[in-house]
């Protein structure tokens, strides 16, 4: 069997692989990209981030119509969803993005191979395409096969008709009722989507609160907003799902234990399992190249995303560190720079994340759970209702909070729940990345009236609190 030689081969064509492929090709490396699916872009583009945001944009328009009377628009009402138009819009965007990636790779001379890849040895990858097999050799291998939905280990939960996020985003039908097992970011976004589409949504979460990875105040605020919505989302926490059963009428019954209410059943049209994602490492022979997987099936890497085999890198979800598309893209760029032996910054922990629920959520850095370990850190909160732009927009739900160090005035973290949170977090991330302080944030002039005044006013309030605390202790007030 013929072997084709490359400088670099990537396994996967998502955000963990393609930025590196493009960067290396621009620097005259011969690169091949292997993709198991039908198109380029990875899970984010084809099954996750982008499809969900396309549909959530429609959900937002539905909510706007439902609230139009508040803006003097009498008799506006949402009557019917043109499902075929919505799904075609999604497919058009996905096709366009995938085609653009294909064109960019082709223009730079990158070879794209479709098929399932596996290690043959430390420098050879075998690709199975139908009945055909190809062998690619490389000086460097970037293994970025991404992640997959984490399975629910209860009877019947492996039934193919149970929804994962990928099935839920096909939007073939809109169920009248939906039980979501899992109250993390995927569950929160899809609960928001189907609520807007008129589905009665019930969320079951094993932890003591939804969004357990977020600051406690965020999950509590979202739960409160969900319960008071036009079509309330029901939430039960501290539950353990013990059984999922099909019924003769095609519906489902979810059985679960609640610590106070005992064993309960919920009968719904559809069940979505959204308990998280895990590294997609199960289909590859990592042992053939001398790589031992971690306890969660993740690929251990160093700060430059090298594995224990120095010429094999594993950026993205597969290393299990930060399962976010933008984190994977940054890791991919670090890998490319490291391969080229260029000056490069290693990974750092200032990585923002967003949840497109209603209201939106965004966060970066430390939250209030870190305060007990850091006695000089403080928290300041600012309510959206105190800034004018949310009032004008008719959505004053939410708050922003800042974690800062009273000794240095350095900004340590920020959490936002409210209108435009996904955009506002970027400015805070920029300031934190460059070791910014309360003073440096406040000194920047922001236009009025804009949503950015939410975080500006938040930083100003924190600075006033810092100066007041210093004055009370008899110290000098910082003015630098």
Instruction: Name the residue among 126, 384, 129, 174 with its Cα closest to residue 272.
Output: 174
For the chain, the domains span 3-147+278-339, 165-275, 359-472
Dihedral sign, CA of 367, 371, 374, 376?
positive
> Looking at domain 3-147+278-339, which of 3.40.50.300, 3.50.50.60, 3.40.50.970, 3.40.50.720 is its CATH number?
3.50.50.60
Dihedral sign, CA of 14, 15, 16, 18?
positive
At 34 the three-state DSSP class reads strand
Tell me the whole-structure pTM to 2 decimals.
0.93
Question: Mean pLDDT for each consecutive 10-residue tract of the chain (480 residues)?
Answer: 88 95 97 91 85 94 91 87 92 94 95 95 92 93 94 81 90 94 96 96 97 97 94 96 92 94 95 95 93 96 96 97 94 96 79 96 97 97 96 95 96 97 96 94 92 96 92 59
Structure tokens at 15: 């955000």
| The predicted structure's pLDDT at residue 354 | 97
| The predicted structure's pLDDT at residue 475 | 56
Dihedral sign, CA of 205, 207, 209, 212?
negative
> Looking at domain 165-275, which of 1.20.1250.20, 3.40.1110.10, 3.40.50.620, 3.50.50.60 is its CATH number?
3.50.50.60
CB within 8 Å of 447: residues ≥ 6 apart: none
Please, are residues 421 and 455 in contact by the beta-carbon 8 Å criterion?
A: no
Do 3-147+278-339 and 165-275 show the same overall fold? Answer: yes
Homologous superfamily assigned to 359-472: FAD/NAD-linked reductase, C-terminal dimerisation domain (3.30.390.30)
């Amino acid at each position: 069997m013929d072997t084709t030689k490359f400088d670099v081969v990537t396994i996967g064509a998502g955000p963990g692989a393609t930025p590196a492929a493009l960067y290396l090709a621009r620097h005259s490396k011969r690169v091949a990209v292997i993709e198991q699916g039908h198109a380029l872009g990875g899970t984010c583009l084809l099954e996750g981030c982008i499809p969900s945001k396309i549909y959530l944009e429609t959900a937002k328009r539905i909510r706007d119509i439902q609230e139009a009377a508040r803006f003097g628009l009498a008799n506006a009402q949402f009557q019917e969803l043109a499902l075929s138009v919505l799904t075609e819009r999604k497919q058009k965007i996905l096709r366009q993005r995938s085609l653009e990636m294909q064109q960019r790779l082709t223009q730079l001379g990158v070879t794209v191979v479709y098929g399932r890849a596996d290690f043959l040895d430390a420098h050879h990858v075998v690709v199975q395409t139908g009945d055909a097999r190809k062998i690619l050799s490389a000086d460097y291998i970037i293994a970025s096969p991404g992640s997959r939905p984490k399975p629910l280990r209860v009877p019947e939960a492996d039934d193919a008709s149970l929804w994962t996020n990928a099935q839920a985003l096909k939007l073939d039908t809109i169920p009248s009722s939906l039980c979501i097992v899992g109250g993390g970011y995927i569950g929160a976004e899809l609960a928001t989507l189907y609520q807007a589409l008129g589905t009665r949504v019930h969320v079951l979460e094993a932890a003591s609160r939804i969004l357990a990875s977020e600051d406690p105040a965020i999950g509590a605020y979202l739960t409160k907003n969900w319960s008071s919505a036009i079509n309330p989302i029901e939430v039960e926490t501290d539950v353990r799902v013990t059984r999922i059963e099909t019924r003769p009428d095609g519906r489902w019954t979810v059985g679960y234990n609640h610590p106070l209410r005992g064993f309960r059943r919920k009968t719904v049209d559809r069940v979505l399992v959204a308990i998280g994602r895990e590294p997609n490492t199960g289909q590859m022979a990592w042992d053939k190249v001398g790589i031992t997987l971690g306890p969660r099936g993740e690929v251990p890497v160093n700060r430059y995303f090298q594995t224990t085999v120095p010429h094999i890198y594993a950026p993205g979800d597969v290393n299990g560190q930060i399962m976010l598309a933008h984190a994977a893209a940054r890791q991919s760029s670090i890998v490319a720079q490291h391969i080229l032996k260029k000056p490069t910054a290693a990974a750092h922990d200032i990585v923002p994340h967003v949840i497109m629920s209603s209201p939106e959520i965004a966060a970066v850095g430390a939250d209030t759970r870190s305060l007990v370990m850091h006695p000089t850190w403080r928290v300041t909160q600012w309510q959206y209702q105190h800034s004018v732009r949310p009032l004008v927009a008719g959505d004053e739900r939410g708050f922003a909070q800042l974690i800062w160090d009273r000794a240095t005035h350095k900004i340590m973290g920020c959490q936002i729940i409210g209108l435009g949170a996904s955009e506002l977090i970027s400015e805070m991330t920029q300031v934190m990345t460059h070791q910014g302080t309360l003073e440096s944030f406040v000194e920047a002039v922001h236009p009025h009236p804009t949503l950015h005044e939410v975080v500006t006013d938040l930083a100003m309030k924190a600075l006033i609190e810092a100066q007041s605390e210093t004055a009370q202790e008899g110290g000098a007030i910082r003015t630098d």
